[in-house]
Structures are given as C-alpha cells and as structure tokens.
C-alpha cells in the first residue's frame, strides 16, 4: 500500500491570513458581556442580565448534597487512625497524590498503621476512588470544604495530623461481618 500525501490549501482572503477579524470578534463578545453586566448592576437588575456572577466574599455558591470535599481520616473508638496501611488508596489513585509509609503498631499486634500519610491536594483530581477502594472505611471525602488557595506548594500537602483533625469516630465495623456474609441467619 502506497503512502500518499494530501495537500490542504489554506483559506483564501484576509480572514484566513490574519487573526485580526477573530480577535475583533472575541473582543466584541467580551465587551457585550461587560456592558450587559455593568448596566444590569447599575439598574439593580442582575437577575435579568442572565449572567451567573457572585459577589464572592459575601455570597457563596451552594454545593449539591453529593459534593466531595477535602479528605479526612476516620478514627477508631480508641482514637487511633482506622487506616491499616494496606496501600489500596495510593494504588488506585490516578493522580498519584497519596503517599503512605507503613509502620508496625507499637503494641506488637499484627496490624500495621501509617507512619506517614500525605495527600497532595494540588494534584488530587477529586475522583473519590481512594474512598471506594478503602476496605476499612478509613478515608472519606465528605467535608464539603475546598482546598484553600496557597502561595507555596508545601501548603497544599495534607499530612496525617491534618487529615485526622477533620476525622471523627467511624460507625463502621472493623473487618466487616466476616467471611460468611452470604449465609442467611
């Protein structure tokens, strides 16, 4: 099979050779919205302008009920973190924004816990896969709070104590109902 080259001609005329007409059209749209908002605000008819704007510090957007927010880590009855450092959440995370370094529990039990648990909120795409993957109900995203704006990248990284400060006691049963969950009682 022979490879052929298809030549495509550029549009002829001044419209195809310069961007001045496209720039003018874009500026016309911008000025039309500017004038509509300005006149609407002067007349007190913001609802009639049909352009959705908010006076941010005074007015805040109402979020839907199922809106996700910043991450939080849940606690057990004894106040310890529910996470057992199973590494499911960093494995499933498409943005690779979760870092966990496990350690053995100090009481010598078989269970692990996170020594380091960090979430880079600046890389997070708020997909919620970490919440779905967690077998221990240790991580949740139901705070309905945004990540605050930062001027330094390090301020966007939430560490273990930050995540636990938002967490509460979990009502989930650790370990579930066991291997015979299909059998009816």
* pLDDT at residue 29 in the model: 94
Q: Tell me, what DSSP letter sits at residue 106? A: T
Percentage helix, strand, coil, to 5, in the chain?
A: 30, 15, 60
pLDDT digits (tens, 9 = 90+) for 62-79: 878 778 889 999 988 888
∠ CA 134-136-142, rounded to 5°: 65
Residue 159: what pLDDT? Answer: 94
User: With contact defined as beta carbons under 8 Å apart, do 128 and 119 qualify?
Assistant: no
**Rounded alpha-carbon distances, angstroms, from residue 93 to 12, 40, 65, 127:** 49, 45, 24, 8
Whether 152 has a pLDDT exceeding 70, the answer reads yes
**% of the chain beyond a pLDDT of 70:** 84
pLDDT at 20: 83
pLDDT in tens, 34-68: 888 787 777 766 555 556 677 777 887 787 877 88
Q: What is the mean pLDDT of residues 24-28?
A: 93
Pair 120, 84: CB distance under 8 Å? no
What is the Cβ-side half-sphere exposure of residue 25, based on CA atoms within 13 angstroms?
A: 6
- Ramachandran bin of 137, using left for φ above 0, alpha for ψ from -120 to 50, beta for the remaining angles: left
Residue 56, pLDDT score: 76
Asked whether the beta carbons of 174 and 136 are under 8 A apart, the reply is yes
What is the pLDDT, as a whole number, of residue 87?
A: 94
pLDDT at residue 148, rounded to an integer: 83
DSSP state of 156: G
| Residue 117 CA to its chain's centroid (Å) | 17
Mean pLDDT of the region 128-151: 88
What are 96-139's pLDDT values in tens digits? Answer: 999 999 999 887 777 889 999 999 999 999 999 999 999 988 99
Mean pLDDT of 152-166: 91
Task: Say whether pTM exceeds 0.75.
Answer: no
CATH number for the domain running over 72-166: 3.30.70.3270
Domain boundaries, the chain: 14-49, 72-166
Q: Where are the alpha helices (DSSP H) in 87-178?
A: 88-92, 129-133, 160-166
């Amino acid at each position: 099979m022979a490879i052929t080259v298809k030549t495509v001609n550029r549009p002829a005329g001044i419209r195809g050779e310069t961007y001045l007409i496209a720039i003018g059209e874009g500026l016309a749209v911008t000025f039309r919205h500017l004038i509509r908002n300005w006149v609407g605000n002067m007349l007190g008819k913001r609802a009639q302008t049909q352009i959705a704007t908010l006076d941010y510090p005074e007015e805040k957007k109402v979020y839907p009920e199922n809106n996700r927010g910043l991450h939080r880590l849940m606690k057990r009855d004894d106040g310890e973190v529910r996470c057992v450092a199973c590494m499911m959440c960093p494995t499933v995370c498409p943005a690779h924004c979760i870092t966990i370094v496990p350690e053995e529990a100090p009481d010598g039990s078989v269970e692990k816990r996170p020594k380091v648990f960090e979430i880079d909120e600046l890389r997070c795409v708020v997909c919620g896969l970490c919440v779905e993957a967690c077998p221990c109900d240790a991580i949740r995203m139901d705070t309905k709070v945004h990540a605050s704006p930062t001027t330094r990248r390090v301020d966007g990284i939430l560490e273990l104590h930050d995540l636990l400060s938002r967490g509460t006691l979990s009502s989930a049963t650790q370990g579930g109902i066991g291997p015979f969950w299909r059998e009816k009682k």
